[in-house]
Amino acid sequence: MTILYIDADACPVKDEVYRVAERYGLQVFVVSNSWIRIPQDARITSVVVDAGPDVADDWIAERAGPGDVVITADIPLADRSLKAGAQALHPNGRPFTPDSIGSALTSRSIGEHLRSMGEVTGGPKPFASSDRSRFLQALDTAVVKARRR
pLDDT in tens, 12-60: 999 999 999 999 999 999 999 999 999 999 999 999 999 888 899 999 9
CA 39, CA 66: separation in Å to the nearest integer? 26
Sheet containing 69-71: give its strands across: 44-48, 27-32, 3-7, 69-71, 87-89, 95-96
Report residue 125's pLDDT band, with 50, 70 and 90 as the boundaries: confident
Contact between 18 and 36 (Cβ < 8 Å): no
Comparing 128 with 111, the larger pLDDT belongs to: 128
Taking residues 99-122, report their average pLDDT: 71
Contact between 112 and 106 (Cβ < 8 Å): no
CA 76, CA 81: separation in Å to the nearest integer? 9
Percent of the chain predicted with pLDDT > 90: 72
Please state which CATH class domain 3-148 belongs to: alpha beta
